[in-house]
Amino acid sequence: MNGIVIREIKKEDNQQIAAVIRDVFIKDDFPKAGTAFADIQLDLMFEAYDKPRATYFVVENEGKIIGGAGISQLESSSENICELQKMYFLKEVRGKGIGFKMIQICLQEGIKLGYEKCYLETLPEMLTAQHLYKKAGFEYLYETMGSTGHTNCPVWMIKSLNSNT
pLDDT in tens, 59-88: 999 889 999 999 999 988 888 999 999 999
Rounded CA-CA distance 68/21 in Å is: 9
Residue range 37-49: mean pLDDT, rounded:
89
Domain boundaries along the sequence of the chain: 4-160
pLDDT of residue 30: 82
Residue 1 pLDDT greater than 60, yes or no: no
pTM for the structure as a whole: 0.92
Beta strands in the chain (DSSP E): 4-8, 55-61, 64-73, 81-89, 117-122, 139-140, 155-160
Rounded CA-CA distance 151/36 in Å is: 10
User: In the CATH scheme, what architecture does the domain 4-160 have?
Assistant: 3-Layer(aba) Sandwich (3.40)
Structural contact between residues 94 and 41, judged by C-beta atoms closer than 8 angstroms: no
Residue 151 pLDDT greater than 70, yes or no: no
